[in-house]
Each structure stands twice: as C-alpha cells, then as structure tokens.
Amino acid sequence: MPTLPLFLGLLLFSLHTIIPPSTAAKDDTLAPGQVLTAGEKLVSSNGKFALGFFQPDAGNNSKSSTSPGWYLAVWFNKIPLLTPVWVANREMPIADPDLRATKLQISGDGNLAVVSNHSTQPFIWSTHITNNNRTSNATTIAILLATGNLVVQDPSSSAVLWQSFDDPTDVALPGAKIGWNKVTGLNRVGISWKSRTDPGLGSFSVGLETNGTRRVMVSRRVYPSKVYWSWSPDNSPMQIPALKALLSMNPQTSGLVVPEYVDNDEEEYYMYTSPDESSATFLSLDTSGQTKLNVWSQAEQSWHSIYVQPVDPCRPYATCGPFTVCTGSSPSPCECMESFSLASPGDWELGDRTGGCSRNTPLDCNANRSDSASTDVFHPIASVTLPYGPKDAVAATRSECEWACRSNCSCTAYSFQGSKCSVWHGELFSVNKNDGIEISSQDTLYIRLAAGDFPRGTRRRPVAGVVIAASVIGFGLIMLMMLLVISRNRLNWCGASSSHVTGEGRVGVVAFRYADLGRATKNFSEKLGAGGFGSVFKGVLGDLTAVAVKRLDGARQGEKQFRAEVGALGLIQHINLVKLIGFCCQGDKRLLVYEHMCNGSLDSHLFQSKATVLDWSTRYQIAIGVARGLSYLHQSCRECIIHCDIKPENVLLNESFVPKIADFGLASVVGRDFSRVLTTFRGTMGYLAPEWLSGVAITSKVDVYSFGMVLMEIISGRRNASVVHTSSSCCVAYFPVQAISKLHEGDVQSLVDPELHGDFSLDEAERVCKVACWCIQDNESDRPTMGEVVRVLEGLQELDMPPMPRLLAAITESSNVASMYSSS
C-alpha cells in the first residue's frame, strides 16, 4: 500500500453507483426566487462539480430492509461514474417518489433549504445560518465553487455565511480543512456512510483533537467507541516536508497531492491541495473504517485507491460487527463465528456490518442441570486477538476459568493465557485472525455455544484431571520437540558446521526456569539497559558464562517480541549475530538469554563524550562485520530475515570489538517464494527507508537503507542530525546531505570524525562513503544488496559515484536545514 502519513487518511468513501439526474443545467449560482428541482443541477465555473438530487442505486438491494431515498449532493460532473463527495440531508432522505414537489431554494430567512410540498415539515434540510452571521435583511446567494465547495454568501460583502467544507460528510476534497476553529469552536468531523447505498451516519469518524496535541484521530463512533488509528507530527517521523518530498517522487501523486498543516491563533487544520486542476482526487473514510486517497484514472475509467490506512482491513475497531472473525488476508475478511449466521444479509452485502452475526441456537445456560448433554459447550478459536472489554476472573486453571464463565448466564466467552483468566459478557467485538499483515496474535478464545450445534459425540466434557494431565504432557512434548528442532536447525538450516557450533561450547537453545535466571542476575539487580519492550540485566550462569538477560514487559507486545526473537535467532548461527543462549516461558514471564557483550553497543562508543574513541581500523571492521551479518540474514538462511531496526544501539561489540547484530524483536521473516512482506510501521526515526513512509510492502532493502545511515555515523562519529551553533544562531545540520556533496567534490577527508586527527585510510573512507550514499537511495532498486556491500567493503567490487538522493535533498530544502559541517 502506498503511504501518505496518517493525516492523509482523513475522510470517507465507498464508490456508489448512482441513478444520474437529467442533464438540464443551470450555472453555478442559485439566487433568491430561483429553485433547483429534480433533473436540474448547478455546475461549477470550471465544469468539474455538479449539485443536484440523486438516489443511490437500489438495483442490487433486493435483500435490504429499506429502499434508498433521494438526497441533495455534490458530485464530479465530468466523470461517468457519478461519485458523491458531499451529501446534505444524510439523516432525512426524501422518500417521496414524485420529486416534482421537492426543490432547493433560498428561503425567506436567507438559508439554503430543501423544501417539499408533500412534507409536513417546513424544511427537509437547511443550512441554519444564524442572524449574527449575516447583515440584517440582506439577501443571500448559493454558489458551487470550482473546488466543489458549496457556499452561501452575502452578495453585498462576498462574506461566506456557510460552506459545505465546514460540514463534511465522508470525503475531503483538495482545499477542504480537517481541523477546528479556535475562535468559534467549529470542529470539522467526517463520518462514514452507513452502507454503500445509505449516506446516513455510519460507524466511523475522523477529526482533529482540540486539546493541542495536533493529533488526527480515526475512531469507531458507535459502541464500542474507540480510537483505532491516529497521527501527529509530534510523535511520527513523517514530517510535512518529508511527506511533500515523498509525494513529489511518486508518479501516482506527483503534482496531484500537496499536504499542508497550519496552526495559528485562529485555526488548526490539515488539508491538501492539488495543483493539477484537471485531476480528480478525494480523501475518504469508507464504510469499513479505512481511510483512502482516491485518484481517477482516465485511461481505465475507474477510481484507484493509491493510499489506504490502516493497511489491514481488520484494524478498524469492530469493523465486522459482533460475533464475527476478521481475516485481513482473505478476499472477504469478515465471517461469522462457528454456529452463528448473518443478522442482516442484505445490509451486510451493502457494506453495513454493524448487525454482525447472531446465534443459530439459543444458549441453554443452565450449568446445574444433571443432563450434561444439554448444557452449553465452549468452542476454541485459535490465533486471534481477544475481544473488546474483557473482565478478569479468579481462576488457577483453564477448567476453573471455564467454570467461571459457565456459571454466569451472561458470559459468552473466556480466555486463559498464562495464569490470567478473562471472561466476556454479551456481544464479542474485534476478534481478528492472525493474518500476517498487521494482526499478529497467538491467543485462543473459547466461545460459548449451544450443545445442540455440535454432534453428540463431541459434547462430552473431559474430566478436569484428565484435561490437566493431557495439557501437561502435551506441553512437555511440544517443548521437547521445539528444542530438538531448534538444535537441529541451528546446525543445518543456515550452513553452520557442527564443529563450529560445538566449538562454541553449546548446542541448541536452553529452556531456563525463572528462579534460575533470578539467581543468575542476582534478582535482576544489575541493569545493562532498557528499551521499549523491557530491560536487560547482566547475569552469570552456573558454568560462569556471562549472559545478558532481557526481561520483556507487557503481555501482548512482550509476547510478540519474544516470539519474533526466538523465531529468528533460535534457528541461526553467525559470528556477527548475537547468540541466543536460551529463554524462559513461565506463566506470563518472558525472558531471553543472550551471550554478554562486554563492550556494549556501538552508539556508546560513537556518541558518548567519555567513551574511548574507536580508531579507523576498528570502525572499518565493524562496518564489514555488520554487513556480513545482514547479508547472512537476507541471503544465506532458508527464509529471508529482515531485521527492520538496524541502528548503532542494536550493534553490540564483544571483547575484541567484533560486531554482533542484536534485538530481533521487530524482525520479519519472508519466504523465499515472496520478495516482499506487508507489515506494520516499525523501526527508529532517522534510519527509516522511504518505503516505510509510503506504506508499501517492504523488502530486505529497508535494512540496506538503515545500514547506510549507520555507516554515515561511523564516518562522522556523531548523529546524522545534530545542532550546529554559529556566531548568531543555531540550526540543525543533516550529515548525509553534506556527505554526498563532499563526496562529489572529492573532499571526503573533511567528513571523517575529527577525533581521529587524520589517522585513517582515505581510500577506505571514500569506499565507505560511496557505499553509504548508494544504500540510502530513494528507490530501493537502486540500493545494492548486502552481499554486494560486503564485496565492495572488502575491496572485491567497485561502485560508481552515487547520485544525490532526492528525498534527502527535498527534506533539507523544505525544512531549511543547514548542511554546513565544520571540517575541523
């Protein structure tokens, strides 16, 4: 998926097939005394937009409970597939089949209003302009502007008294603001359609928080209400200058989309403009909760969604309704749970899934009956995210957890993970299958079903003791098989010889008890460091082996990182990868045991003022070692492993300063049959490749880009972005831009860390600088593979002079970043 930052996914759309009005046309203005009736339309001065009455197509709506009415709307005038971008009377469709009695006019009080002779109400819809917004007794006119904005003006002053851009539905056109007016308090919030044929208020909304956080939020607006996606320039690496540069390089968006953010005393808002007035684009929030950027393809005569966020259709909260399971990798992601059926098939087909699914058979809900064959049963759904709104229950075993749910008639499901028992009452929302896109979970949910929905032979409940015994034995066998497989694969999967592994003194991965690791680390008393997922402690095993023990925090994220690291490192062996010695998986505790690296991480030697300065030879060997480790991950293992977070903090150094890549908690494994993997946004600001920002499926070239940024810091001995003080001011200097400029000028020596006092190999420095500049090219296809990088650094292959990466240059120019670096 191509990516614009989160604010670009601001408003709605699902494509609607429409019964078009007749072509009787007026100009772009409706004055007092004039009316617009069915079959007529206002057309903007540029001919791009039209305003009139339309009816969503009911041709495929035979199963729907309601028939669509008529609505006043703005749509693209020159596009054959009529696409509404604003709807007036969303909650009050015109049901009268004879539209001759319905008209749009300027009412006596100066409002734009839809009136009907057959209606009992004076207005079906009105702009509701207050008197303090207009001059007393002044007339008003309505104009459809060239932007698609319908405005009501005071003709004497041209003051805008009301505009459709301030009353968004589900679409944002170029020039429409997503944000709020600090003076009036007006906050423009977009709301999705209810279904593809019902413009009524749907389940999802998008708007800007008004508390100063600058955060755009996309939320489920009906129960269960929850923010499921947000973006702010304060906590995202995708700043507006970077976004502008990125869009200018994308052939699908170049010249079409220019994002803006404004924050002043009166307003705070996001919007985008489109310099190409002949193009047709809009941002949308569709009926499933995904935000999209849509562009009309004249060649194919269809709309293309060139940006979708979130990527996974299961991410929007409760998008499939109650008692459903969502699988993002499936063509039809939503399906009913076992023994449930669609509550409203007609609405479901039209994109309105709020009704979800309902039970085929009512629950018996009588746990005390002696006839156990008639009591309810619990059916497992494996590898899913657990539903919204769990409640904790006291239970020491899964059987006790099941009983806690069974004994309450309102309980519909339970889960027992580790030693934690969770139960759910009522409807179940947001049960999402592990789909390999953005949803990754190994939890098991047990849903309560009527016994009659299962064959009689499957309804007997095993004795609790048998269940416990079987579980213990099964867990033991699984652990034994895991250790055997991991041990075998560490020898065979990636070509490590058995003598090499034996020489290391340890074969396989050890399963530790928590108490043993507590003793090894002196009750976790000596902390080596901390990160987003937990803390690392120094320890000593019984055989006096020094280790680093990572204790993962947070049940969900900790479990995810635990599995990622064991899955990546448990099957591989390489001198430039940190060795996983063992792990602990006890209750809800997750720990990883690594070899201890006595010289810490690379960043501590490059950036800390009190650290020992690394000489050039050591830096060069570190660069080659990291490159070899990445080449091994990308090209030598059975499955390609993408690290996703290469940075100096994740390069550890042993007693001989041999580098070892660490922290595989964000790693992704790509099968050899695939070249790309679609994954969630991850990594560290400053080392992220442009494709992370574009939202497309990534390749191993994201690690190549990050490695290039690390090489820059190895050369300079400082962060790529740093504050430079001049005699009159200070500014931010961005080293990569300076590096490639100096490389082209033949002045590489001025780039090398001044702490080396000129003691370095100029040929090697030029080679490293060339490699770094090729690694950070905008287009991933222009970057070398890590195998090629190794050969260049080893002097076995040459590289041409790299071009200036356009994205870096554009960011620097847009941000007025100083590119001056002192050579002294």
The helix (run of H) or strand (run of E) holding residue 152 is: strand 150-154
Non-local (6+) Cβ contacts of 49 within 8 A are: 43, 74, 75, 76, 77, 85, 144, 146, 147, 148
Dihedral over Cα of 104, 107, 111, 113: its sign: negative
| Candidate list 347, 352, 443, 645, residue with the active-site label | 645
In angstroms, rounded to a whole number, what is the distance separating the alpha carbons of residues 666 and 644? Answer: 6
Helix (H, G, I), strand (E, B) or coil at 605: helix
| Nearest alpha carbon to residue 516 among 591, 609, 405, 577 | 591
Cβ neighbours of 276 (radius 10 Å): 12
Structure tokens at 695: 């939202």
| Nearest alpha carbon to residue 284 among 263, 302, 305, 300 | 305
The helix (run of H) or strand (run of E) holding residue 791 is: helix 786-793
| Burial class for 632, CB neighbours closer than 10 Å (0-12, 13-18, 19+) | buried
Nearest 5°: the CA angle 306, 348, 390 is 90
| Nearest alpha carbon to residue 56 among 23, 18, 7, 92 | 18
Non-local (6+) Cβ contacts of 518 within 8 A are: 524
The answer to whether 800 and 771 have CB atoms below 8 angstroms apart is: no
In angstroms, rounded to a whole number, what is the distance separating the alpha carbons of residues 737 and 817? Answer: 10
Which 8-state DSSP code applies to residue 760?
S
| Nearest alpha carbon to residue 57 among 103, 24, 26, 16 | 16
Q: Is 645 a residue of the active site?
A: yes
Question: Tokens 């690392």 appear where?
Answer: 536
Does the annotation list 647 as a binding residue?
A: no
Helix (H, G, I), strand (E, B) or coil at 623: helix
The answer to whether 217 and 188 have CB atoms below 8 angstroms apart is: no
Pairing of strands 546-552, 589-595: antiparallel
In angstroms, rounded to a whole number, what is the distance separating the alpha carbons of residues 398 and 403? Answer: 9
Q: What is the CA radius of gyration of the chain?
A: 31
Catalytic machinery residues: 645
Q: Which residues are annotated as a binding site for ATP?
A: 550
Binding residues: 550
